[in-house]
Homo-oligomer: A and B are copies of this chain.
Amino acid sequence: MRELFHPTTDQFNLPTILYALGDPNRLQIIKNLSSQNETTCACCNVNLPKSALSHHFKVLREAGLIYVRLEGKQRYLSIRYKELEERFPGLLNVIIKSE
């Protein structure tokens, strides 16, 4: 794997995004990421085996919620905040701030 698929903003799809956020583990990941600029997979503070984390990161990435930057032996994760805001203004803020 040398290049990771990231949808363009016009490929963003609302039900897909909501579905991705509809899982408690993934929602937690997004909330955790939102308080950090960029972080590695291991630093997400979600207590799951790495294969499970990998799965959830993939769902989030393919929905367009996170960007995964490859650097050395690590992957740095960040929320695609600007693009999401552009396409679905307000959505992410509501979600991150809730509760």
Contacts and interface: CB of A to CB of B under 8 A. Distances in A.
Contact of A15 (B23, B89, B91, B93): B23
Given A21-B15, A22-B19, A24-B15, A93 B95 contact: no
Interface string A36-58: 00000000000000000000000
Given A89-B94, A90-B93, A94-B91, A18 B15 contact: no
Main SS at interface, chain A:
helix
Tallying the copies of this chain within the complex gives: 2
A99 B90 CA distance: 14
Interface residues of A, number: 21
A4 B22 CA distance: 24
Interface in A85-99: 87-91, 93-95, 98-99
Given A19-B22, A22-B19, A23-B19, A14 B99 contact: yes
Interface of A: 14-16, 18-24, 27, 87-91, 93-95, 98-99
